Amino acid sequence: MGYTVRKTPGDTSWFVHDRFGMFIHWGSYAMAARHEWVKNRECTPEEHYALYAKYFDPDLYDAREWAKKAKAAGMKYAVMTSKHHEGFCMFDSAYTDYKCTNTPAGRDLIREYVDAFRAEGLKVGFYYSLIDWHHPSFPIDRLHPRRKDPDAFEQNQGRDIKVYAEYMRNQVRELLTNYGKIDILWFDFSYSQPSPDDLPWMKGKGKDDWESEELIKLARSLQPDIIIDNRAEIEQDLWTPEQYQPTEWIRDKNGERVVWEACQTLSGSWGYYRDESTWKSPEMLIRMLVNTVSLGGNLLMNVGPTARGYLDYRAEAALGVYADWMKYNSRSIYGCTMADPEFQAPADCRLTQSEDGKRLYVHLFAYPFAHLQLRGLAGKVEYAQFLHDASELLFTEGGVNHFSEGAARGDDLLVIELPPVKPPVLVPVIELFLK
Ligand code: GLC
């Protein structure tokens, strides 16, 4: 049992066991409540965007509440935005005045997050945006909110990305020094390839602009076990497919399987978006988690808190869906990975297998009528049950032969008898104890 996976510089042993985390996108953009890219999309004038910080007052923020909800949902770690592309810092940085402690919030919101989530036993990580649309040394480019200003070129004079790269090192040093053990550092993102949107004096930004090698070296010197993603444009511990469903175990350019984490949103936005309506169904939420683990990956599912500091009713409902399912079925997620290739999932099913190889989990995305036939499992299963209530499931080997005498029998088939009525579980799971 087991797949060869590319070694990682950081300690990913707990990560590939825990499988499920909470992404938290929270910043002054929650005031606009129109997506975390609102400043880019609307080219918001600086004086207007400053109002969001001026009036940012998350008076209902209680990180302990968030942590309890994440834990109940079965999430084992969290990654919260310490600074997003807008440049507003959710922590008390000595290198900028554009931070939450200088708003009506008046407190270090990241500090409360790490304390609360650790208290609930979750690992903690920081998202840190490489992009910064507020910093005076960050060169204006095709993504920058000032890109369409008539005097954008003039505004850009004197901006030195080296000054900004040092600013990032200083802030990463603060984040990895002042808040205890940090388990994940999630950089975002590089765009070094030229684009038709580049004006002649603009260019994208990548590892050389961020001085990524030095930034990552600093991070690892401060937190040797830390897990770092690949978006500073240097491959590290994590590959990070986003907003799509991989169909196979992510591999590097040499074809080697890697540690990977899909990051997804409950709706169409990372940051709080009041009027966004594409919220995923309960079934889709569970299927995304199962799909990801069935391919050897982790799921980082995002919440975007409101500017008052609480998770809105839609996010709370989604976390409740996870809590209800994980309460009875988390055994098919934690410590599990892609099933051995000898096991083929029947139609509308996904398989996961325990790391020790002894338990195979069959997730029923569509509830079959009467029987479930699993090819290649005859003679290999000692016992079968529904995972949610440990109720026995009887099985036979060879094909189903109700009045189909003479039909070719699938001697390698395991045939599990199922109750005619689907159990009260969004995605029922069959637990097979292998011989
Ligand atoms: C994309 C979005 C960014 C978000 C990130 C999460 O990079 O631009 O807003 O934070 O995805 O992975």
Residue 112, domain CATH: 3.20.20.80
Contact 121, 157 (CB under 8 A): no
Atom of ligand 1 nearest to the CA of 189: 7
Residues flanking ligand 1, CB < 6 Å: 25, 36-37, 188-189, 242, 263, 270
Using DSSP's 3-state secondary structure scheme, residue 389 falls into coil
- Are 269 and 363 members of one domain? no
Same structural domain, 100 and 76: yes
Q: Is residue 327 domain-shared with residue 353, that is, in the same domain?
A: no
Q: Are residues 154 and 36 in the same domain?
A: yes
Sign of the alpha-carbon dihedral angle for 366, 367, 369, 370: positive
The pLDDT value recorded for residue 401 is 65
- Give me the number of domains the chain comprises: 2
For residue 26, the surrounding DSSP H or E stretch is none
Whose alpha carbon is nearest atom 10 of ligand 1?
270
**What are the average pLDDT values for consecutive 10-residue runs of the chain, which has 435 residues?**
91 98 98 98 98 98 98 99 98 98 98 98 98 98 98 98 98 98 98 96 97 98 98 98 94 97 97 97 98 98 98 98 98 98 96 98 96 94 98 89 66 94 98 98
**Both 306 and 381 in a single domain?**
no
Distance in Å, CA 185 to ligand 1 centroid: 14
pTM of the prediction?
Answer: 0.97
Q: CA 402, CA 363: separation in Å to the nearest integer?
A: 25
The verdict on residue 34 lying in a domain is yes
Instruction: Tell me which of 281, 306, 335 is where a domain ends.
Output: 335
Specify the pLDDT at position 410: 73
Same domain (yes/no): 142, 199 = yes
pLDDT score, position 407: 63
Domain with residue 347: its CATH number is 2.60.40.1180
Answer yes or no: do 107 and 213 share one domain.
yes
For 338-383, the pLDDT digits (tens) are 999 999 999 999 999 999 999 999 999 999 999 999 999 999 999 9
- 276 and 179 part of one domain: yes
Using DSSP bridges, classify how beta strands 371-375 and 359-364 pair: parallel, antiparallel or unpaired. Answer: unpaired
Buried b (16+ CB within 10 A) or exposed e, 232-269: bbbbbbbbbeeeeeeeebbeeeeeebbbbbbbbbbbeb
Distance (angstroms) between ligand 1 centre and the Cα of 74 equals: 23
In the reported structure, the alpha carbon of residue 83 is separated from the centroid of ligand 1 by a whole-number distance in angstroms of 12
The residue segments making up the domain with residue 415 are 339-434
Q: Which of 266, 270, 298 to mutate to test the pocket of ligand 1 (most atoms within 8 A of CB)?
A: 270
Contact criterion met (CB below 8 Å) for 417 and 369: no
> 188 CA to middle of ligand 1, Å?
7
Which residue, judged by its Cα, is nearest atom 4 of ligand 1?
270
Give me the pLDDT at residue 249, please: 98
Task: Say yes or no: 226 and 352 in one domain.
Answer: no
Distance 236 CA to ligand 1 centre (A): 18
Quick one: pLDDT at residue 285? 98
**Cα 268 to averaged position of ligand 1 atoms, centre (Å):** 11
pLDDT at res. 230 = 98
Q: Are 315 and 354 members of one domain?
A: no
Instruction: Please tell me whether residues 374 and 427 are part of one structural domain.
Output: yes
Burial of 220 (0-12, 13-18, 19+ CB in 10 A): middle
Residue 424 has a pLDDT of 97
Given 301, 335, 369, the domain boundary residue is 335
CA nearest to 229, candidates 282, 190, 268: 190
**3-state class of 374 per DSSP?**
strand
For residues 49 and 235, what is the distance between their CA atoms, to the nearest angstrom?
A: 34
Residue to mutate (ligand 1; options 242, 269, 272, 273; most atoms within 8 A of CB): 242
Q: Which two tokens stand for residue 425?
A: 């579980």
Rounded CA separation 398/408 (Å): 10
Looking at ligand 1, which atom is closest to the CA of residue 81? Answer: 10
- Residue that the structure tokens 């029923």 belong to: 364
**Alpha helix locations (H) across 139-211?**
152-156, 161-177, 207-210
DSSP 101-117: GGSTT-S-HHHHHHHHH
pLDDT of res. 399: 67
Lookup: tokens for 80: 């919260």
**Centre of ligand 1 from the C-alpha of residue 372, in Å:** 40
Q: How far, in Å, CA of 53 to CA of 47, rounded?
A: 11
Distance 32 CA to ligand 1 centre (A): 17
Q: For a substitution probing ligand 1, which of 189, 190, 231, 269 has the most ligand atoms within 8 Å of its CB?
A: 189
